[in-house]
Structure 1
Amino acid sequence: MMKPRLTIFDEPLLYTEGLSKLLSQSKIFNTIDICNSHEHLFEQLKLDPPEILIISSNMLMLTDIFRLVEDITSTNKKIKIIVIGNSYDMIDIRKLFNKGIKGYLDKNSRYDEFLKSINILLLNEIYICDNAKERMINFISSEEGKHNPHIKEPLTRREMEILKLICDGCSSKDISEKLFISINTVETHRKRILLKLNAKNSVGIVKYALENHIID
């Protein structure tokens, strides 16, 4: 399998160059390029588009990021975009995923989580950082308190706990061990969660939580 190419769209700050060097040492990527202007970025996307593109919020307003993601995904659907945001709220993160990003990290995400996000994207899955997932769980809880009409009935505290573990990528076996309950009980909870959220299956539950009507 060929190593992917990476482009980082950000100001040429020390941390960007440092990140580039760290990633070079990880030997995940074939090449790593840094673009610091729209012209440079679109020229590269046209001539030699990378497999993965990182867009930082350092040099762009959120509305500009929305527009940029839309422009890129309209012509380069195969590029996997990761946005490094400034602790955006769940509505904005959902909007970014709807526009076509595949990964979201907060600025305070750690390097090991960054590597994890890359590996997950290379498996054709989506990634949302732990901080954002925590905000998503809290958001869902508060929305239930408002009697969200799209949820058939509120998730119980135990179901919220299991939803969070599913978002963390835990299997039914992992969940049963963490919560000291049987696998059958976990499976029953899973089915009830999927039914309540009107989701078809538990694969990519985070994606369903974002794309379905859990978050308005």
Structure 2
Amino acid sequence: MTTSKYPILQVDDHTIFRSGLSKLLAESECFMIQAEAATIEQACACLQQQPELALMILDINLAGQNSLDQIPLLRQFHADIPILIMSMYPPDQFAAAAYRAGANAYLSKDACHEELQLALSSIVTGGIWLNPSARLATDDTPNQGYPHERLSERELDILKSLANGESLTDIGSRMFLSVKTVSTYRTRILEKLNLTNNAELIKYALTHGLSV
């Protein structure tokens, strides 16, 4: 007898990662990637067109956009779909913000296959899954969260780079961005953190363990 698998919507703007995760879950007895999206707009369309989708795996950073801010929009198309956030950053940086935004689970992208299966199995009925690292992060983070939790992954990268002494030119070269674009990111970061200059930014990064 064949057991049907829970269909998953994967939302990530990295094609290679989507492909790898799809192949990984193809071996699962319970789950499969049924639909893929690279943007929030595409994700909304998938949810609208495929109401049978049972789970969503969502990256935080989608082309510089913080997807946590878009969870209310996604919920308009499928109010009860469990959402697993997968990010390149460890739980101690974004897990608390993800849960406050309405996510059901948080995993870093270097999590093992068994941990992914466990998280999906735990949330498929709408529950919350906390691994030890995420539980520690949510326990230790104040209710209002830290300002840097509102940054996109790209903004957080640039914050760390600035705090580590990289110039705008060096950052732009490494990230394939113009100096003007990096400068715009810097301005946005300062605004979100309520800071006024690089000195304050460096102090903030050191205080919160965001620099090496």
State the TM-score, normalized to the length of structure 1.
Answer: 0.54
Change (3 A) 1:132 1:55: same
Q: Which runs of 5+ in 2 are unaligned?
A: 143-212
SS at match of 2:127: coil
Residues 56-67 of structure 1 aligned to structure 2 (within 5 Å): 56-59=59-62, 61=64, 64-67=66-69
Confirm whether residue 132 of structure 1 aligns to residue 139 of structure 2. Answer: no
Q: Which residue of 1 aligns with 2:74?
A: 72
Give the superposed CA RMSD.
Answer: 2.6
User: Which portions of structure 1, spanning 4 or more consecutive aligned residues, are displaced by more than 6 angstroms?
Assistant: none
The one-letter code sitting in structure 1 at the alignment partner of 2:27 is: Q
- Three-state SS of the structure 2 residue aligned to 1:26 is coil
- SS of the residue corresponding to residue 97 of structure 1 reads helix
CA distance in 2, matches of 1:123, 1:46: 20
Question: Given residue 46 of structure 1, which amino acid in structure 2 is its aligned partner?
Answer: Q
1:54 matches 2:57: yes
2:10 is paired with a residue whose SS is strand
Q: In 2 relative to 1, CA 14–114 (structure 1 residues): closer, same or farther, beyond 3 Å? A: same
Give 1:76 shift.
2.0
Question: Which residue pairs with 1:150 in the alignment?
Answer: none
* CA apart distance, 1:75: 4.1
**Contact 2:91/2:137 (8 A) holds in 1:** no
User: What is the rounded CA distance, in whole Å, between the counterparts of 2:98 and 2:117 in structure 1?
Assistant: 21
Alignment of 1:172-211 (within 5 A): none
Does the CA-based 8 Å contact 2:61-2:67 persist in structure 1? Answer: no
1:142-189 per-position Cα deviation (integer Å, ceiling 9, x unaligned):
x8xxxxxxxxxxxxxxxxxxxxxxxxxxxxxxxxxxxxxxxxxxxxxx
Structure 1 pair 74–96 and aligned structure 2 pair: CA distance change class (3 A):
farther
The residue that corresponds to 1:106 in the other structure is 108
Take 1:136 and 1:41, find their aligned partners in 2: how far apart are those partners?
Answer: 27
Give unpaired runs (5+ residues) of structure 1: 144-216
SS of the equivalent of 2:84 reads strand
2:5 to 3, 6, 26: 3
Q: Residue 4 of structure 1: CA displacement?
A: 1.8
Identity score, percent: 18
Query: Is 1:87 paired with 2:90?
Result: yes
String of CA shifts for 1:86-121, please: whole Å, max 9, x gaps: 22546x533432332111112222221011001111
Q: Classify the secondary structure of the residue corresponding to 2:9.
A: strand
Match of 1:23 in 2: 25
Separation in structure 2 between the aligned mates of residue 31 and residue 135 of structure 1, nearest angstrom = 29
The answer (yes or no) to whether the contact 1:103–1:127 under 8 Å persists in 2 is yes
- CA displacement 1:109-148 (0-9 Å, x = unmatched): 22210110011112442112333234445x27xx8xxxxx
**Is the 2:82–2:125 Cα contact (8 Å) retained in structure 1?**
no
Report the AA paired with residue 133 of structure 1: R
Residue 58 of structure 1: CA displacement? Answer: 4.6
In structure 2, what is the equivalent of residue 43 of structure 1? 45
Report the AA paired with residue 58 of structure 2: I
Distance 1:60 1:82 in 2: 19
Number of aligned residue pairs: give it.
138
Shift of 1:28: 1.4
